[in-house]
Amino acid sequence: MARKCEVCGKGPSVGNRIIRKGLPKKKGGIGLHTTGITRRRFLPNLQKIKINQDGSIKSRLVCCSCLKSGKVEKA
């Protein structure tokens, strides 16, 4: 099953997970130091719902932003 919205095509995006060590300067320390950077994935909030499509009811994976904006009509 693909992690992709079947209405708008929104899929996973990538970013970084940054690990920092130390006390911030505003709290009296010498500052935060980056000790590790690893890649991570941001997954879309997909819901499996039944929608009206061309007069028939079909089960689709739809992201919550499409549901909220009214791009699809729930059955």
pTM over 0.85: no
Q: Running DSSP on this structure, what letter comes out for residue 54?
A: T
Q: In the prediction, which pLDDT does 1 show?
A: 63
Cα distance between residue 20 and residue 67, in whole Å: 37
User: Is 42 domain-assigned?
Assistant: yes
Per-residue model confidence as pLDDT tens for the chain (75 residues): 689 999 999 999 999 999 999 999 999 999 999 999 999 999 999 999 999 988 899 999 999 999 999 999 888
User: Is 39 domain-assigned?
Assistant: yes
State how many domains the chain has.
Answer: 1
CATH code, 58: 2.20.150.30
User: Is 38 domain-assigned?
Assistant: yes
What Å distances lie between residue 63 and 3, 9, 12, 53, CA to CA? 10, 9, 11, 16
* 63: number of Cβ within 10 Å: 23
Q: In the prediction, which pLDDT does 23 show?
A: 96
Give the structural domain span for 48. 13-69
User: Is 45 domain-assigned?
Assistant: yes
